Structure 1
Amino acid sequence: MSAFDDLLAFQRQTEALSSIAERLGWDQETVMPRGATEQRAEEMAAIEEVLHDRRTDPRLGEWLAAAEPRDEVETRIVELIGRDFTRASRVPARLASELAKTTSLAQGIWAEARANEAPEDFLPTLDQVLMLKREEAAALADGGDPYDALLEDYEPDTTATEIAQVFDAMRPRLVALREDVLGAEFQPQSLAGHFPQETQLRLARTCATAFGYDWTRGRMDMAVHPFSSGRWQDSRITTRVFETDPFNCIYSTIHEVGHSSYELGIDPDYAFTPLGRGVSMGVHESQSRIYENQMGRGRAFTGWLFNRMSDAFDGLNITDADAFYATVNRVTPGYIRTESDEVQYNLHIMLRFDLERDLISGKLDTSDLVEAWNARFLKDFGVAVDRPANGVLQDVHWSVGLFGYFPTYALGNVYAGCLNAAMREAVPDLDDALGQGDGGPGVEWLRENIQRHGGLKRPRRLIEEATGSPISPDPLLDYLEEKFARIYRL
């Protein structure tokens, strides 16, 4: 066997073990007994120790140095294993294990604190997570910017400075559009009524099927915070239900189908290699957001959904498909990021991006986080946070140590804007299919141009080759301004 063959065989086992660890995380957030938290933390720490040992095994350095890749695929595999080897070697095994254990415990503590509206019960644990992430960031940065070092895990080849420039360019147009929309004379009607859980879940499954979700390789469960998990032949989705708001369940489901379909759409030859996963969280988010918004919240699909919901719930207080489309896209100054309309969503991300950069740099301490969050939210949204679950406790990310993750949500929207413009040109009859409850033509275009490549191409190259244009926030902003000007009769 060649050095590359040895490298690939070793990596195959590492990828399998990583997938097992991910499955443990899925179990913890869905069906694990609440009393098993401490045991699961020990299990996660143990498997992380094994993974860290493998990712820093000295033989990797020898194989990487001797490997002679023969084509683009093998070259990229060597590049990605080498990157992970370098990064893992900078993090002490003790720190990797402690992070896995602490974040596993923190996740349950966050969920309890959120349910009890008690940030004081969570902040000491968050402080432990933050101290560990600061230590990890310093080790990974190797003298560079600590936040950039964390960002590399989620959006390679991008810096916080570059992201801040994109956000600065987006903010004025988003704020101006929000002001125009909220000040418009016409305001869509809100959906009202009682929507039973089981009926919502049946409808959510119907919507997942409409967007091509492969139920032979997936499943849907309930979680406090919706997510998807898994890859290759097993990628699962979760959703949540509020019986006064069926849109929360339906669009969370479609969003997670986008994530899961990305993983299931990757070339099967890449399974158990570094190519067998989404190339970045920004690209991942582009898939979930284009499924949810540009396709799922468009006039064509909402027309189909209106009929399905009217039948499922024995009528709605919204009486026609055009009014329903406006209701689905209603802009309100709400608190929750995952329930936010398209106009304001990115403003939520900008808030979190600035706060977590300050947390990692030490400019902000966890003891001051609630006050900082509430003040920034009031400044950005003009509304005072009414309770912690609608404020600093609403997201799971910091509890599980995902610092550097949040900005990829907004980058995903930017990528989705670029992809949507290209997809609409390439698939001119897409709305005809969506109007029949069939997202297949759009899904197939995304699978061919994005999903099947997995980690083969760097994020920027992947998006630019798919669209034939440089990445820019303009297509997203143009789409939002045109869409909401029509809805709000501006």
Structure 2
Amino acid sequence: MSAFDDLMAHQRQTEALAQIAGRLSWDRETVMPCGAAAQRSEETGALHAVLHARRTDPRIGDWLETAEDAPLGQVAAAQLRHIRRSFERTQRVPEHLATALARTAALSQGKWAEARATDDYAAFAPVLAEILALKREEGAALAEGGDVYDAMLDDYEPEAKAADLDAMFGALRPGLIALRESALAGTPAPQLSGRFDVTAQMQLAQQLAALCGYDMTRGRLDKAVHPFSSGSGDDVRITTRTAEDDPFNCLYSTMHEAGHAVYEQSIDPAYALTPLGAGVSMGVHESQSRIVENQLGRSRAFTGWLYGRMRDVFGDFGIDGEDAFYAAVNSLHRGFIRAEADEVQYNLHILMRFDLERALVAGDLLPADLEAAWNDRFEADFGYQVPRASLGCLQDVHWSVGLFGYFPTYSLGNVYAGCLAVALRRAVPDLDAELAQGNMASAMAWLRETVQQHGGLYPPRELITRACGTAPSEAPLMAYLQEKFGALYPAQ
């Protein structure tokens, strides 16, 4: 066997173990007994220690040196690029720190959940300080004298820089705030009324996931407090949540997570259990979930079809006609929760978190002062005060498990989706006619062909540029939002 073959055999086993670690996380979020948290923390820490040892195996360096000297095709070169990047980054982090992070994150998530349930941020602040200290230590090791936050961001969006995102988000923020204020001054959208059987919601959610192209023979749909997608290749699982008075939460969470899952299921099978066999970045991943949920799922054409399906399933729910239903689906209203926000205000939630977590990482904001800083920024951007911590700085799980640098990829994904939507409509001129029939096949085929099948073959920006024909920009997203919500909420 060649050095490349030896390296790839080692990598496949490492990728398989990483999938097992992901399955442990899925289990923790869905069916794990609450009393198992301490043991799961030990299990997670042990598995991450094994993974860290495999990822820093000195043979990888030798294999890389030999393999990189041989003639390489495009796919092999991309595999080696990912492996070298992971090898060099993992080597910079001591094993004791990687294990401590895994264990601490597994425990701190439970403490976050307890603090959220009791609206007691003060109880969580020391936990956040502990996980932040560990992440800053890790970030400093990865940065090697460079920007610590950029090193954290690179875990989720390779090659991205905070300064570039700051400029992009800075260009978005004034327009988002103005659009939000204009819409809230308009006539409120109609609202659904009645109770919606949760079993029926889950059945309809299954149908919507299938329309998005989700293959249930290689996945499953379960409930979780926070919807998510997990896995790759032939085992990609999604979760959603239900509320009797809000079926949109279930249905659109399902479409969102199906967008993530279909990406993973659509990657070239030849890349399975290799570095190319997963989504290339969280920003690109989010672009797939957002374009499915928003530009397709919340379009006037598709909501016209969905209105009929919901009438079939739930009967009368107080909405008279497809236009009113479209307005209800895209209702812009006051609220506090990021995951429940409309397309306009969602990005304001992310921009706020981006600024706050950079301040935390830089040491300009102490964990003890986060709640006050959060509340001040929220009032500045949204115009009203946060009443309690569970509606404010305790609403998201991300920081409790050390996901610093993750939040900006949500809005970056929206930016990518805005660019992709323009290219999609050029490629599929009959898109609205198909969506009006509940048919997403052409749209999903285009996404599969231009983005999803490539997995990690191309760097994120290059992948989006190839798909769209132009480099990513925030302009298409802002134009889309202004056109859509300007029509839904015309100036008074």
> What TM-score do you get using the length of structure 1 for normalisation?
0.98
- Equivalent position of 1:430 in the other structure: 431
Q: CA offsets, 1:112-136, max 9 Å, x none?
A: 2222322233222222111100110
CA 1:137–1:124 in structure 2 vs 1: closer, same or farther (change >3 Å)?
A: same
- Equivalent position of 2:140 in the other structure: 138
Aligned-partner Cα distance in 1 for 2:224–2:389: 19
Aligned-partner Cα distance in 1 for 2:323–2:275: 45
The answer to whether the 8 A contact 1:419-1:463 is kept is yes
Aligned-partner Cα distance in 1 for 2:295–2:412: 15
The answer to whether the 8 A contact 1:263-1:451 is kept is yes
Aligned-partner Cα distance in 2 for 1:223–1:131: 29
Aligned-partner Cα distance in 2 for 1:69–1:254: 43
How far off is 1:311 after superposition?
A: 2.0
- Equivalent position of 1:16 in the other structure: 16
Secondary structure class of the residue paired with 1:122: helix
How far off is 1:310 after superposition?
A: 1.6
Secondary structure class of the residue paired with 1:416: helix
The answer to whether the 8 A contact 2:30-2:222 is kept is yes
- Equivalent position of 1:238 in the other structure: 239
Superposed, 1:341-356 pairs within 5 Å as: 341-356=342-357
Aligned-partner Cα distance in 2 for 1:240–1:121: 27
| 2:152 partner letter | L
- Equivalent position of 2:182 in the other structure: 180
Q: CA offsets, 1:258-302, max 9 Å, x none?
A: 001110010000001100000000000000000000000001111
Superposed, 1:362-401 pairs within 5 Å as: 362-401=363-402
How far off is 1:303 after superposition?
A: 0.8
The answer to whether the 8 A contact 1:353-1:406 is kept is yes
* Structure 2 alignment gaps of length 5 or more: none
The answer to whether the 8 A contact 1:69-1:75 is kept is no
The answer to whether the 8 A contact 2:122-2:368 is kept is no
Superposed, 1:173-322 pairs within 5 Å as: 173-184=175-186, 186-322=187-323
Q: Kindly tell me the number of residue pairs found equivalent between the two proteins.
A: 489
- Equivalent position of 2:488 in the other structure: 487
The answer to whether the 8 A contact 2:153-2:404 is kept is yes
How far off is 1:69 after superposition?
A: 4.9
Superposed, 1:21-36 pairs within 5 Å as: 21-36=21-36
| 2:400 partner letter | S
The answer to whether the 8 A contact 2:112-2:397 is kept is yes
210-219 or 111-120, larger mean C-alpha shift: 111-120
Secondary structure class of the residue paired with 1:238: strand
* Residues 1:151 and 2:178 aligned together: no
The answer to whether the 8 A contact 1:4-1:69 is kept is no
308-317 or 462-471, larger mean C-alpha shift: 308-317
How far off is 1:192 after superposition?
A: 2.4
How far off is 1:178 after superposition?
A: 1.4
The answer to whether the 8 A contact 1:69-1:78 is kept is no
How far off is 1:236 after superposition?
A: 0.4
- Equivalent position of 1:62 in the other structure: 62
How far off is 1:108 after superposition?
A: 1.7
How far off is 1:61 after superposition?
A: 0.6
Aligned-partner Cα distance in 1 for 2:162–2:145: 16
Aligned-partner Cα distance in 1 for 2:194–2:383: 28
CA RMSD of aligned residues (A): 1.0
Taking only the aligned residue pairs, the percentage that are identical comes to: 59
Match of 2:170 among 164, 168, 171: 168
- Equivalent position of 1:459 in the other structure: 460
The answer to whether the 8 A contact 1:170-1:473 is kept is yes
| 1:129 partner letter | I
> What TM-score do you get using the length of structure 2 for normalisation?
0.98
Aligned-partner Cα distance in 1 for 2:45–2:306: 44
304-313 or 56-65, larger mean C-alpha shift: 304-313
Q: CA offsets, 1:462-483, max 9 Å, x none?
A: 0001011121111111111111
| 2:456 partner letter | G
The answer to whether the 8 A contact 1:111-1:224 is kept is no
276-285 or 208-217, larger mean C-alpha shift: 208-217
Superposed, 1:460-475 pairs within 5 Å as: 460-475=461-476
Aligned-partner Cα distance in 1 for 2:71–2:215: 34
| 2:180 partner letter | R
